[in-house]
Amino acid sequence: MTGPLIELKGITRHYGSGEALVRALDGVDLAIGKGEFVAIMGPSGSGKSTAMNIIGCLDRPTGGSYRFNGVEVGTLDQDQRAILRRHFLGFVFQGFNLLPRTTALENVELPLIYKGQPRAERRARAMDALARVGLQGREHHSPAELSGGQQQRVAIARALASEPMVILADEPTGNLDTKRSVEIMELLVRLNRDAGLTIVMVTHEEDMAAFASRLVVFTDGRVVRDEAVGERVG
């Protein structure tokens, strides 16, 4: 593939109408290449989370073009968009979103079940993903038996198990203390550097954004800054 992996052109997302019209995104142009680590920042209501939802095929734009790996996403039907999410995108959320009554291993296996993978294959891939995030020996622990940082590592392993092209991380350190936050960011940096994973992360913390290689800032539904970050940390 030539060109960006993710490309937004003139993207708008409007809610309501008339005097109640809200322009959550107001003509966003954004291109992200394969292997980049991009941090997206902006005040509440700036449009950063809306942009993330559109990139993740969780929402549709009102107008404009979104191309993923050269494919115009706007032409895909609901099932095709679900396939794109399932096979090419991995999601990491602030709240971990783990099933409380299942083990770390079973949580990581879950998206592989949806993909219809045989039990032995998905078990092996889930074990490998947990090893990649440093959780060997914790496979059979429930979320309640893990620290917040370990729970987020399980969530990252779950995203990795599907072998996605892109990890979309929405405030991945929002529920963690400083030490655990740094550990998670260093893990994301390693995955970006060593595995070549493209990472797009929404954060409100400047010190966490400093781990990325590029910073994009939203204000009032538009990109107002797009620049390389200083020397990588981690």
Helix axis angle for 178-195 and 148-161, nearest 10°, is 20
| Residue 199 identity (one-letter amino acid) | I
- What confidence tens digit (pLDDT) does each residue in 175-202 have? 999 999 999 999 999 999 998 999 999 9
Per-residue pLDDT for 38 more than 70?
yes
Per-residue pLDDT for 148 more than 70?
yes
| Half-sphere exposure at residue 136, Cβ-oriented, CA atoms within 13 angstroms | 4
Q: How confident is the model at residue 114 (pLDDT cuts 50, 70, 90)?
A: confident
Please state, rounded to an integer, the average pLDDT across all residues of the chain.
93
- For the chain, the structural domain boundaries read 6-228
**Domain spanning 6-228, CATH class:** alpha beta
Q: Are the CB atoms for 89 and 160 separated by under 8 Å?
A: no
